Amino acid sequence: QVQLQESGPGLVKPSETLSLTCAVSGYSISSGYYWDWIRQPPGKGLEWIGSISHSGSTYYNPSLKSRVTISVDTSNNQFSLKLSSVTAADTAVYYCARRTTVTTEYFHYWGQGTLVTVSS
């Protein structure tokens, strides 16, 4: 069974960099699929942040592209998110997910989510 687990600081100061890691179990990241980050501000909808393929290709939401970096660590079977220059608007529950692609597109497996609050 594929499982994803987010980890990282729950509190980040304004202007600093938010860093999260998603540990994957039950499947080897290097074997395929796309690995995505999605966020949800409190009481609001989902926002796609970006993704990385098993081969390292990255795709980002144009509205966040200048501040986002997604990377993969195949040796530890995990991938990471860095979001720079954060503000209160970046406060959200951050989810990692596995996206099935190639003639289809959907998120079948999700992490439980981790709340990140941006505050001084």
Member of 42, 75, 89, 105 binding another protein (CB under 8 A): 105
Nearer to another protein, 1 or 75 (CB): 1
Residue 97 DSSP label: E
* 26 is an interface residue for another protein by CB under 8 A: no
Task: Tell me the C-alpha to C-alpha distance, in Å, between residue 41 and each of 29, 47, 55, 104, 115.
Answer: 27, 9, 30, 27, 9
- What does the per-residue mask of binding to another protein show for 36-65, with x meaning CB under 8 A? x-x-----xxxxx--x-------xxxxx--
Task: Tell me the C-alpha to C-alpha distance, in Å, between residue 34 and each of 26, 57, 119.
Answer: 15, 9, 31
Residue 74 DSSP label: T
Nearer to another protein, 75 or 103 (CB): 103
* 94 is an interface residue for another protein by CB under 8 A: no
Tokens linked to 108? 């079948």
Nearest distance, CB of residue 46 and another protein, angstroms: 4
Member of 8, 67, 84, 107 binding another protein (CB under 8 A): 107
CA pair distance 59, 70, nearest whole angstrom: 9
Kindly report the number of other CB atoms within 10 A of residue 105's CB atom. Answer: 9
* 90 is an interface residue for another protein by CB under 8 A: no
Give the residues lining the site for another protein (CB under 8 A).
Answer: 36, 38, 44-48, 51, 59-63, 95, 99-100, 104-108, 110-113
